[in-house]
């Protein structure tokens, strides 16, 4: 029976993680062995009927991904990562690694995880556990669960005061120029009905008042 040899040229890299601590200093931890990795992703689908032709994405929710890692740090490094490894020069690597992981967890900062299947950004170390017995007292065997945090950014702009509208303040004869209190998104204002009023800061353009006053305004962004 003929034997077929399948070439496997993929270069495997050690599982590692990088994070910036609360001081802004970047740290990298290389595992001596990734005993087990579990990649989890899930989409929650509605249990209720949906209308024919409806966009299914409106009825499903993407959950943050989870990554379960079982790793080992030995007393003697199995690879030379140089001074880029946070454990470089440590006399007791297992203890130093455990302290570094706990500090990472309690600092609640983002960590980037590098695996052979995928690189994960914006993870937070959710849980950490370590087991030792008389046979493994000189190594660190740990289990860590990382959870993804969704990070979004929205475009915004600051609207400078102008004379585009005179707001009619209910129960008052003061004509005011509206000045938004905060920077708002790049949206188009629309005129509202009195029952939809929201609060803005007003600078009077007539009357006896000289200081900004608060009142409901007829503009919404």
Structure confidence by residue, pLDDT tens digits, 104-144? 999 999 999 999 899 999 999 999 999 888 888 889 999 99
Is it the case that residue 1 has pLDDT exceeding 80?
Answer: no
Through-space distance between the first and last CA atoms of the chain, rounded to whole angstroms: 74
Name beta bridge partners: 157. 184
**Cα–Cα distances in Å, from 170 out to 52, 162, 166, 175, 178?**
46, 21, 13, 10, 14
CATH class of segment(s) 16-148? mainly beta
Q: What band does 90 get if pLDDT is binned at 50, 70 and 90?
A: confident
Mean of pLDDT values over 178-190: 44
Which of 9-13, 160-164, 175-179 is the least confident region? Answer: 175-179
Is it the case that residue 11 has pLDDT exceeding 60?
Answer: no
Measured between alpha carbons, how far is 23 from 2 in angstroms, rounded to an integer? 60
Measured between alpha carbons, how far is 218 from 221 in angstroms, rounded to an integer? 10
Measured between alpha carbons, how far is 90 from 103 in angstroms, rounded to an integer? 16
Mean of all residue pLDDT scores within the chain: 75
Is it the case that residue 213 has pLDDT exceeding 70?
Answer: no
Is it the case that residue 163 has pLDDT exceeding 90?
Answer: no
Three-class DSSP category at 40: strand
- Residue ranges of domains in the chain: 16-148, 156-220
- Determine which helix (DSSP H) or strand (DSSP E) holds 199, and give its type and residue range: strand 198-204
The pLDDT, as a whole number, for residue 5 is 57
Residue 146 contacts by C-beta under 8 Å, 6 or more apart in sequence? 66, 67, 68, 69, 111, 113, 120, 123, 124, 125, 126
For the CA atoms of 66, 138, 26, 113, the dihedral, rounded to the nearest 10 degrees, stands at: -20
Is it the case that residue 212 has pLDDT exceeding 80?
Answer: no
Is it the case that residue 203 has pLDDT exceeding 60?
Answer: no
Is it the case that residue 20 has pLDDT exceeding 80?
Answer: yes
Percent of the chain whose pLDDT exceeds 70: 64
Q: What band does 12 get if pLDDT is binned at 50, 70 and 90?
A: low
Contact status, residue 32 vs residue 93, Cβ threshold 8 Å: no
Counted residue by residue, the chain has a size of 221
């Amino acid at each position: 029976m003929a034997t077929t040899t399948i070439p496997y040229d993929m270069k495997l890299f050690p599982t590692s993680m990088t994070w910036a601590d609360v001081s802004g200093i970047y740290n990298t931890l290389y595992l001596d062995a990734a005993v087990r990795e579990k990649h989890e992703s899930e989409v929650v689908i509605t249990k209720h009927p949906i209308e024919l032709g409806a966009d299914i994405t409106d009825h499903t929710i993407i959950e943050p991904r989870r990554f379960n890692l079982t790793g080992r740090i030995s007393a003697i490094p199995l690879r030379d990562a140089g001074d880029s490894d946070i454990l470089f020069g440590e006399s007791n690597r297992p203890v130093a690694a455990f302290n570094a992981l706990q500090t990472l967890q309690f600092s609640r900062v983002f960590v980037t995880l590098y695996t052979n299947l995928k690189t994960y950004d914006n993870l937070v170390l959710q849980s950490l556990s370590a087991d030792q017995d008389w046979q493994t007292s000189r190594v660190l065997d740990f289990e860590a669960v990382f959870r993804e945090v969704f990070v979004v950014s929205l475009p915004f702009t600051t609207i400078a005061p102008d004379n585009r509208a005179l707001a009619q303040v209910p129960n008052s004869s003061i004509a005011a120029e509206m000045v938004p209190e905060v920077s708002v998104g790049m949206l188009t204002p629309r005129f509202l009905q009195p029952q939809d009023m929201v609060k803005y800061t007003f600078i009077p353009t007539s009357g006896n008042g000289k200081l900004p006053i608060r009142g409901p305004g007829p503009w919404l962004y």
